[in-house]
């Protein structure tokens, strides 16, 4: 878990990966559960970026740019509260929650630009921007989800990942990056019916992976050209750490735009999760 540990190792409170699971109750009357309903039941993994405060690390944010970085745990808050509500509503899907909780602090133990991390996936990452930390911790989460949780049908990661997403999809829509068209459509519809709006971003890993080229590691953690679909690139970085043998779906939700308004959190993400999980009585 080099990404989670590397980002959080300078903080007073050590980094953590938190895992919770929910299994839907078995219907005592098996005849009332149709074969179609059984086939529709999925194992959905919700991964959340939980940077409780983001100084930028040694690539320190400016004094005005750092204000509001208490909101950088919005992705983990969204999936955590969505998970809690889903359990209370007895959704029919099996759900696993994976949170990466860190503080991107500065100090003698801080991660440095030029350091190389070995990730949970086994891939190595050359750090060229310590302020591109969210993708590092989520990369470990999706790697864990795709290798250690048995049969998984859907991996969703949610994060306040990039400032660029507000340019891509605006401040009222999260940007989504989906592995398949069916997954993209499913999350888009969940956004419409829940009110947590989303809009698709460019999905083109074959065109964008060169942005992370490194001469000393498998990849860098930040792009070479910030004008080349930067928000999509960040999502593809996370995707590149999913196990190659994983056959399920994946979707990345960058909710840095709608996560907060007027210096307050909006609660974005909870309704989207419930919509995705077809929570009974919700929408």
Q: Which residues are catalytic?
A: 61, 135
> In angstroms, rounded to a whole number, what is the distance separating the alpha carbons of residues 166 and 56?
19
Q: How far apart are CA 154 and CA 187, in angstroms?
A: 11
Pairing of strands 94-104, 174-178: unpaired
Instruction: Determine the distance from the C-alpha atom of residue 87 to the mean position of all C-alpha atoms in its chain, rounded to a whole number.
Output: 20
50: which strand partners? 101
Strand positions, DSSP E, 12-165: 16-22, 43-54, 94-104, 116-118, 124-126, 154-159
Task: Report the C-alpha gap between 277 and 92 in whole angstroms.
Answer: 8
Residue 84 DSSP label: H
* Closest to 3 measured CA to CA, from 238, 212, 283: 238
Q: What angle do CA 249, 252, 256 make, to 5 degrees?
A: 165
Distance CA 102, CA 51 (A): 5
**What is the rounded CA–CA span in Å between residue 269 and residue 157?**
11
């Amino acid at each position: 878990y080099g990404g989670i540990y590397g980002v959080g190792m300078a903080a007073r409170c050590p980094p953590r990966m938190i895992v919770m699971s929910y299994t839907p109750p078995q219907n005592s009357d098996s005849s009332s559960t149709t074969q179609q309903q059984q086939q529709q039941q999925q194992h959905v993994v919700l991964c959340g970026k939980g940077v409780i405060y983001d100084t930028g690390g040694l690539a320190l944010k400016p004094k005005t740019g750092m204000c509001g970085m208490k909101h950088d745990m919005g992705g983990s808050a969204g999936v955590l509260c969505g998970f809690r509500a889903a359990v209370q509503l007895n959704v029919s899907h099996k759900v696993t929650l994976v949170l990466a909780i860190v503080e991107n602090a500065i100090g003698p133990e801080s991660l440095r630009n030029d350091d190389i991390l070995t990730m949970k996936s086994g891939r190595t990452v050359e750090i060229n921007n310590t302020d591109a930390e969210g993708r590092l911790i989520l990369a470990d989460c999706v790697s864990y989800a795709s290798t250690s949780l048995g049969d998984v049908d859907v991996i969703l990661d949610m994060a306040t990942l990039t400032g660029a997403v507000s340019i891509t999809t605006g401040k009222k829509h999260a940007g989504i990056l989906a592995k398949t068209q069916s997954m993209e459509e499913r999350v888009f519809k969940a956004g419409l019916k829940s009110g947590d709006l989303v809009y698709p971003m460019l999905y083109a890993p074959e065109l964008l992976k060169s942005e992370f080229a490194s001469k000393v590691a498998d990849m860098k953690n930040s792009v070479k050209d910030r004008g080349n679909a930067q928000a999509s690139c960040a999502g593809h970085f996370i995707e590149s750490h999913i196990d190659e043998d994983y056959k399920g779906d994946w979707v990345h939700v960058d909710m840095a735009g709608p996560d907060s308004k007027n210096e307050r959190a909006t609660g974005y993400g909870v309704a989207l999760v419930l919509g995705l999980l077809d929570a009974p009585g919700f929408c």
